Amino acid sequence: MARTRCYDKKSGLKKGTWTLEEDKKLAAYVTKYGCWNWRQLPKFAGLSRCGKSCRLRWLNYLQPNIKRGNYTREEDQIIMKLHAEIENKWSAIAIHLPGRSDNEIKNHWHTSLKKRSTHELTCNGKKREANNVNKKSDEDQNISPNESYIEVSSCVTTDQNMENIMDAECEINQEELFEESIGNFWTEPFLIDSFISTTSNSEFCVPLEVEYGLFVSPFSPIM
């Protein structure tokens, strides 16, 4: 599944699959002190990793509100709809799917949704062609080509309710989303709780600014 472990002699930094030990260290450190500086963080957290790698690992895997497992039909529909609108803006799409990282969404798109989308486009094309025959009558009834298209594209949205759900989803106030995720962050019992309990604070080196609260990340529990 994951890459085999390797070591970059040039930089002296480790690459490849993260071990449970590394996960524990990173999760415990970020939870306690926040991500005040990704580049410096691994040094203080006692990790032989580059900052980018730590950031990625945290965002895609260790973050407490991260949702794992199968995508729901709603999630698939949201992704496909947003991708049709804004294309490969994965981070923007991820905003509409709390708990899913941009990387995860991107992977999901490339592995399954892309094929489905292509298939459905083909399917729509055929339907649209067929519908062109009836276009004239639509115009007579003051129905725009778009409306007509939406109507026949049942292949994409077989359930009108789903469309409504998605539209509502898109209108969710971003502040609410943020508050919700922060709320979950602090209140839900997470895997990392056990990490923290098993990782003593004394294992970390902490910059004075962080230690004494001179610098506080907005994501830090110190807040």
Partner DNA sequence: AACGGTTGCAACCGCGGAATA
Partner DNA sequence: CTATTCCGCGGTTGCAACCGT
Which listed residue (29, 90, 190, 195) binds DNA by CB under 7 A? 90
Please report whether residue 174 would count as binding DNA according to CB under 7 A: no
Stretch that binds DNA, among 37-45, 123-131, 171-179, 197-205 (CB under 7 A): 37-45
Which listed residue (7, 73, 74, 107) binds DNA by CB under 7 A? 107
Nearer to DNA, 101 or 199 (CB): 101
Q: Which two tokens stand for residue 109?
A: 């798109």
Please report whether residue 118 would count as binding DNA according to CB under 7 A: no
Q: How far apart are the first and last CA of the chain?
A: 37
Lookup result for tokens 């899913």: 100
Which listed residue (51, 98, 207, 221) binds DNA by CB under 7 A? 51
In angstroms, the CA 47 to CA 45 distance is 6
Please report whether residue 102 would count as binding DNA according to CB under 7 A: yes
- Secondary structure letter of residue 56 according to DSSP: H
Q: Which two tokens stand for residue 204?
A: 């970390």
Question: Are 182 and 10 a contacting pair, CB within 8 Å?
Answer: no
Which listed residue (24, 28, 30, 57) binds DNA by CB under 7 A? 57
Lookup result for tokens 């080509």: 145
Q: Which two tokens stand for residue 24?
A: 């524990």
Q: Which two tokens stand for residue 132?
A: 């062109």
Please report whether residue 56 would count as binding DNA according to CB under 7 A: yes
In angstroms, the CA 43 to CA 37 distance is 10
In angstroms, the CA 162 to CA 74 distance is 7
Stretch that binds DNA, among 46-54, 74-82, 143-151, 156-164 (CB under 7 A): 46-54
Which listed residue (89, 116, 119, 126) binds DNA by CB under 7 A? 89
DSSP per-residue letters across 128-155: HHHHHHHHHHHHHTT--HHHHHHHHGGG
Q: Which two tokens stand for residue 205?
A: 């080196």
Lookup result for tokens 């083909």: 122
Which listed residue (43, 44, 46, 61) binds DNA by CB under 7 A? 61
Nearer to DNA, 36 or 199 (CB): 36
Stretch that binds DNA, among 101-109, 140-148, 165-173, 207-215 (CB under 7 A): 101-109
Query: Taking the complex as a whole, how short is the minimal distance between the CB of residue 74 and DNA, in angstroms?
Result: 17
Query: Taking the complex as a whole, how short is the minimal distance between the CB of residue 128 and DNA, in angstroms?
Result: 26
Residues binding DNA (CB under 7 A): 1-4, 14-18, 35, 37-40, 51-53, 55-57, 60-61, 68, 88-92, 102-104, 106-108, 110-112
